[in-house]
């Protein structure tokens, strides 16, 4: 997936635009491995660790957020699209997870996207032309 895929909100989640605008970004850090990968890390809403990793050559993006929405709605779909950063973190979470009380799925159409924190950070990166 590319950065633009995380900037635009899928139609299914258009009602979340106001919540995205309320997200705050602090402790922004840029890490460059000197070769192909650039990682942008930030704390969003003063509690969630959010990361975006961009491959300079292919422009592929991998994302991570430790919020519940990301874990329950987007991480599995992003894993299938090879756009999930820190895969082991989520696999371990899923192994320890308790069975669901309901059959309702949070992302019933498996729409690849990110939580409001990921989307806000991707928009910030694009707007400020950080990478």
Express each pLDDT in 4-35 by its tens digit: 999 988 888 888 899 999 999 999 999 988 78
- Find out whether 112 and 81 touch, Cβ atoms under 8 Å: yes
Range of the domain at 116: 3-127
**Alpha-carbon gap, residue 131 to 57, rounded angstroms:** 12
Q: For position 34, what pLDDT does the model report?
A: 77
Using alpha carbons, list the distances in angstroms from residue 64 to 15, 61, 74, 101.
Answer: 22, 10, 10, 26
Q: Which helix (H) or strand (E) holds 51?
A: strand 48-55
pTM more than 0.75: yes
Number of domains in the chain: 1
């Amino acid at each position: 997936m590319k950065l633009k895929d995380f900037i635009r909100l899928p139609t299914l989640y258009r009602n979340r635009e106001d919540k995205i605008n309320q997200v705050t970004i602090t402790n922004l850090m840029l890490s460059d491995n000197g070769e192909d990968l650039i990682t942008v890390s930030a704390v969003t809403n003063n509690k969630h660790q959010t990361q975006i990793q961009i491959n300079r050559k292919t422009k592929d993006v991998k994302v991570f957020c430790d919020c519940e929405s990301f874990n329950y709605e987007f991480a599995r779909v992003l894993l299938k699209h090879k756009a999930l950063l820190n895969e082991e973190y989520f696999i371990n979470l899923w192994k320890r997870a308790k069975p669901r009380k309901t059959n309702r799925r949070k992302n019933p159409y498996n729409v690849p996207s990110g939580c409001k924190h990921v989307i806000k950070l991707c928009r910030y990166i694009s707007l400020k032309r950080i990478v």
